[in-house]
Structure 1
């Protein structure tokens, strides 16, 4: 082809390109104009509508329905259909989503105390008392006491008392010369997740674990202090037994969800692995404090005494550690392990912006027939939320953003339903979901407790001020929260369905509920006594706190949906980052600060940055992200070239310098965030007065708002790391994770903190650098759209 021919071809293509770009420009302008024209004024006050509607309180009716039948995970499909039907009744589009997961169900168990000749001197029934006043405790349809995922086995051995069964408790046993190898370990509930009791005991060579609830953890509400037991008073029923899962959850090497499909969904014909990275290999039984007392009494005067904080309040037990001398325990546990279907139920009201989604979730499965607090207070409130928001839609209100309600199955076993859903829909969720609000046990007491990603804190406080606190004093929920909790919103760990959203996917999450506190009776967690009768007479008379929970969650979803700009506080988030970092910084040994960092380590860190940038982009799939990555890559290459040129002239960096740079990056981010929030507030004010603007100014305002919403929507994703935490790759968030040795309790800046705990200097440097780079990436996003 000659030059003239080529030139002719070029000219021939130009009209095509012209019409192509014209079409794109026309589409964009049309879209913006439609956005402008679509801002119709609401025909009613949606906040007032919800509060008025929920003055009619049906929570008691829904609670009675959910607690009338057993609904262990993977059972009672009728309750699945009933939940779906209620959502549809209130105008929601519904889906039932099935996963096939590895689960265990109880068959039989026994526990016998033997003398030195092997004769049985005491047998524990491992059952809870039937109570005439409480119908849920009577009959043959209650769930047996068991701990899911406990291994099958029949073991006979000496036993020892190990306090809460924490890492530090086992370390003290070693120091005291008490060997738990080939012994059964007896621990009390508290401080850490029960699955980690099993992991730590198994790692020390124990052959079985027995777990009980000690009245010493009941804050003085005990018969010894004059309080009557349930059902005649607020004290714990002494036959109460806490069921539960002994999956390792957030422990080292473990992950939530189906233990045979770690990191991917149990849907369809998928490969399955050995589950024992996340579940134990020894039998475990739960027991009441009444039935464990005769066993522990045999340890009196045997072995050393633990420190004062090992002492509970069992009458007749001196809290000697043992081991038992002259007595053995025979423990037998038998469960069936199968791949079993579980069912999540979803309900959706589609908003104008389909790619901006708010989720409210709770699980439906319970360890017992009742489960009035956990989870059915949340289930009842979720139906009320569906009724309130559904009625608002019916009244003609148009939601700006899509709202989804989710009733998960299998949470109690190890966050199965939510985790499998999160893994299956990971890309779609990371691209669309703005926030996740979790209820779980919405009402266990009368005291509001909040845990959240700090970006949601301002929203949580604001909406709490709109809802009356139901004690007749004229206070709002926020007034009460300020009075009782000092305005403290805690960080999140694990133990409920928010885990996959925040710690795996980087979606801002909150956990909301009324918990026991001053003046409340003992909540019988995972026991037959968590019943409708207990809730009606002790937990929430009149179901007024259920009603408050429904109002609060409905208004949170509404407020986050109706504002043009996302109602997030980046300043709250970044201030929390600096505060968390200061706490971690104080734990770094002073002698580490002058240690040099090799150039080889520095090169490895640079390579890791690029890979993680790509992962963060994939997590958001946003326009600003792709530009951000290109710019940062260019900046990185130019800086890298400059460093190569000056390589001979620069000094070797130290850990202290990296620490200073990380702190400085976080402080700069926090300062920029305060200005960013002020600018966001100004944009919202301009939007509220948009009718005073010229039409082109309005369109330009909408462009700026759309860009800013992108930054807000994906801001949390900046703090994901593609490889996950050390030996816990499922946990991708670098700021929030469950504690590897606690399970439930949250840990902030876990990568740095764990490296310091382990005395690993190289890993500390790595995680400091990851934190610094995440802060710079987030700072860039704020600058580019500020």
Structure 2
């Protein structure tokens, strides 16, 4: 009957026929079912926490990272190419017990076709030197041999054939171009030669273009190799740790986090590149001038022609270690450069691969991501050390599933395409699944170049600092006498977990969606071999002979990540420490205020509209955060909100209106700065209490067998409420309008620097206003920050 009618027997009983006893039975049955379905304790399935961690370590006693590295580095795999590796990755996920899918996006990309670079005599126009624009083949390194290597190129560099005088522009930062202007060195109509380092390469091209350059050359200077150079007695790869002189750093010159630009497909800013998507002019995010990357061996005969011409800047910051070049700015009237770049631009299909183990709490998800595409045939460090580690994590967690272990939270592994071009695969899927991710994802863990050395590097949203440290304490560092991985981290990095900027796939999760994220891996330290970043020499031979013999640190990365995932997935209370976040906010805020011009402090905030913006909550912001969580989380406000927020809306959103009748007189910026600091300190006190409550609930859960039935039911709902506050805590720091002139970046605490690209900037709205000398905008952003602090403090205080 139920099957035929489509209703269960209970549903077809007329309401008027139900007695209070039957209603009570139904209610008790529903509560009991809820309790039984929601309160299954993982460790009662026969596998305890210590046993589960032992299973992970036992699985990783067999180290297969080298095999995965060899597979991923055997063939070229530029973004949108090598579908064989897409299918193979999916098959490996499935082999280890994950449900796997392939997700495609149609994205605007460029591929190398042809290029040329010639040094000319300005009078005769004869070629003096033709750059080979190719790296040397090395017999010991099979990756470099043959005709299937990827040419040297810069993705998204404009097509063009330009000839002109050339100048040396140091790192190509804004201040470098300002220095050239100050010294009377005209960039207009010149080709700018810029060394790698300091800022993201795409911004170097952007700033050169904005200063009138007609083309750009990018090269790696030995002066940035931390003394591991032939001049200091080190042999070049493959005979030693120094950079191979023909090594070329390929890469993307998309503008990434620059003003007016955003990561992802430059033709679909802020929305996913699915079939039929509207395409926009990409030039807010990519340049209009040609650019090429070259080796330091190739650039020497060109830069030598600038010796004695222009200005020789004595600053150590402008001096590299290129033999035969005196670091004069030029230009020389005797020589010109001809730069030719030709790329094929098209809409290509890119492929993400996902693997999922469903947990009991399907609305609480942990994502671990890594990209698969590389600029070269190899890419053993970037990204395939991360790809190898990801498969080892899949194998370790798969062994738990095979043993009958039931995961509490869902775990999703993601292998992205197109990260190198501008975080393409991760950004597009983040935009496509934005609503789902904001509702369900607890944390995102990022692997990129997970192993290019033996020194642990950590960057994270502060709520994750605790779990990163605790997991490191459980893993032994593989060198004798060091102790735990945490002991190593304290010794080498001073226990410093950095804040995140951009440059890898966590960007969309943290800075666009407000999802707590971490980026981790083992990199170079003092005395380590130079990493041939984005070069043919980032090969299987280099990583197995120089960076990680025996793939020991690949294995360590897999163990460490598996323990972090386990802790985030299996802790009944989401394992965040909110006080860590508040403590860092105090530090970030004080650092920001130190940059405020002294004359601003006593300036009056005399504009009524500015004052209101500081004081009154914006219903659009409240609705933005509520909508992001499907109204599972509605910010609670105890301060004034807009007058157009009706009493009915206030009641719906559980708002407490306390209109401030104070009419501001002689209110200075110093007063507002102090008031915002008090808001941060209130949040700090509130989070300290909240963390204690979380710890107490976790303890109650671990001892729940001593509770009676109704106490268990009460505990269930207390934990559910607490976990929602933990899960959505980071979402409180999203601002619906986004940053000034960078609306894609929604996070008000963390963003990539608009003039650096990679490096992280804290309180970006405030700092950008300071950089621009905009007092009114600084006050406005002080209000945006303060209101967010008040909202989250009010919400946590309800517990």
- Please say which of residues 153-162 and 469-478 is displaced more in the overlay: 469-478
Q: Which residue of 1 aligns with 2:110?
A: 104
Offset from partner CA, 1:277-301 (integer Å, 9 cap, x none): 0000000000000010000000000
The 1:229–1:17 alpha-carbon spacing in structure 2 relative to 1, beyond 3 Å, is: farther
Distance apart, 1:111 and its partner CA = 0.4
Q: Secondary structure at the match of 1:268?
A: coil
Residue correspondence of structure 1 range 331-350 to structure 2 within 5 A: 331-350=339-358
Partners of 2:650 and 2:656 within 8 A in 1: no
Distance apart, 1:42 and its partner CA = 4.1
The separation in 2 between residues aligned to 1:328 and 1:21, in whole angstroms, is: 90
Residue correspondence of structure 1 range 46-195 to structure 2 within 5 A: 46-116=52-122, 117-195=124-202
Q: Secondary structure at the match of 2:604?
A: coil
Partners of 2:636 and 2:654 within 8 A in 1: no
Q: Which residue of 2 aligns with 1:576?
A: 584
Q: Which residue of 1 aligns with 2:11?
A: none
Q: Which residue of 2 aligns with 1:539?
A: 547
The reply to whether residue 283 of structure 1 matches residue 302 of structure 2 is no
Q: Secondary structure at the match of 1:457?
A: helix
- Please say which of residues 770-779 and 226-235 is displaced more in the overlay: 770-779
Offset from partner CA, 1:674-704 (integer Å, 9 cap, x none): 1211221121112111111222112211211
Q: Which of residues 614, 618, 621 is equivalent to 1:609? A: 618
Offset from partner CA, 1:694-745 (integer Å, 9 cap, x none): 2211221121111110110000000000000000000000000000000000
Residue correspondence of structure 1 range 622-771 to structure 2 within 5 A: 622-625=631-634, 638-640=657-659, 643=661, 647=663, 650-771=664-785
TM-score normalised to the size of structure 2? 0.94
Q: Secondary structure at the match of 2:44?
A: coil
The separation in 2 between residues aligned to 1:272 and 1:222, in whole angstroms, is: 47
Q: Which residue of 2 aligns with 1:599?
A: 608
Distance apart, 1:603 and its partner CA = 3.3
Residue correspondence of structure 1 range 32-431 to structure 2 within 5 A: 32-36=35-39, 41-44=44-47, 45-116=51-122, 117-306=124-313, 307-431=315-439
The separation in 1 between residues aligned to 2:572 and 2:653, in whole angstroms, is: 34
The separation in 1 between residues aligned to 2:259 and 2:534, in whole angstroms, is: 26
Q: Secondary structure at the match of 1:413?
A: helix
Partners of 1:33 and 1:699 within 8 A in 2: no
The separation in 1 between residues aligned to 2:19 and 2:189, in whole angstroms, is: 77
Q: Which residue of 1 aligns with 2:9?
A: none
Offset from partner CA, 1:420-446 (integer Å, 9 cap, x none): 000000000000000000011000111
The separation in 1 between residues aligned to 2:520 and 2:263, in whole angstroms, is: 21
Partners of 1:622 and 1:710 within 8 A in 2: no
The separation in 2 between residues aligned to 1:767 and 1:361, in whole angstroms, is: 32
Partners of 1:106 and 1:334 within 8 A in 2: yes
Q: Secondary structure at the match of 1:41?
A: helix
The 1:590–1:628 alpha-carbon spacing in structure 2 relative to 1, beyond 3 Å, is: closer
The 1:538–1:603 alpha-carbon spacing in structure 2 relative to 1, beyond 3 Å, is: same
Partners of 1:609 and 1:770 within 8 A in 2: no
Q: Secondary structure at the match of 2:353?
A: strand
Offset from partner CA, 1:142-200 (integer Å, 9 cap, x none): 00000000000000000000100000000100110111001000000000000000000
Partners of 1:344 and 1:417 within 8 A in 2: yes
Give 1 or 2: higher helix fraction: 1
Q: Secondary structure at the match of 1:313?
A: coil
Q: Secondary structure at the match of 1:479?
A: helix
TM-score normalised to the size of structure 1? 0.95
Distance apart, 1:520 and its partner CA = 1.1
The separation in 1 between residues aligned to 2:106 and 2:513, in whole angstroms, is: 22
Q: Which of residues 454, 469, 487 is equivalent to 1:461? A: 469
The separation in 1 between residues aligned to 2:339 and 2:632, in whole angstroms, is: 60
The separation in 1 between residues aligned to 2:657 and 2:518, in whole angstroms, is: 41
Distance apart, 1:590 and its partner CA = 2.2
Distance apart, 1:267 and its partner CA = 0.5
Q: Secondary structure at the match of 1:298?
A: helix
Q: Which residue of 2 aligns with 1:6?
A: none
The separation in 1 between residues aligned to 2:709 and 2:29, in whole angstroms, is: 17
The reply to whether residue 620 of structure 1 matches residue 629 of structure 2 is yes
Partners of 1:74 and 1:342 within 8 A in 2: yes
The reply to whether residue 522 of structure 1 matches residue 525 of structure 2 is no
The 1:731–1:81 alpha-carbon spacing in structure 2 relative to 1, beyond 3 Å, is: same
Partners of 2:74 and 2:378 within 8 A in 1: yes
The separation in 2 between residues aligned to 1:536 and 1:87, in whole angstroms, is: 25
Partners of 1:453 and 1:510 within 8 A in 2: yes
Q: Secondary structure at the match of 1:160?
A: strand
Distance apart, 1:472 and its partner CA = 3.2
Q: Which residue of 2 aligns with 1:781?
A: 795
Distance apart, 1:637 and its partner CA = 7.7
Q: Secondary structure at the match of 1:779?
A: helix
- Please say which of residues 737-746 and 549-558 is displaced more in the overlay: 549-558
Q: How many residues align?
A: 769
- Please say which of residues 17-26 and 488-497 is displaced more in the overlay: 17-26
The separation in 2 between residues aligned to 1:140 and 1:632, in whole angstroms, is: 69
Distance apart, 1:14 and its partner CA = 9.3
The 1:477–1:763 alpha-carbon spacing in structure 2 relative to 1, beyond 3 Å, is: same
The separation in 1 between residues aligned to 2:534 and 2:383, in whole angstroms, is: 10
Distance apart, 1:40 and its partner CA = 5.3
The separation in 2 between residues aligned to 1:396 and 1:33, in whole angstroms, is: 19
The 1:20–1:696 alpha-carbon spacing in structure 2 relative to 1, beyond 3 Å, is: closer
The separation in 2 between residues aligned to 1:354 and 1:634, in whole angstroms, is: 26
Partners of 2:592 and 2:763 within 8 A in 1: yes
Offset from partner CA, 1:19-73 (integer Å, 9 cap, x none): 9999778645531343345555142311111011101000000000000000000
The separation in 2 between residues aligned to 1:100 and 1:201, in whole angstroms, is: 30
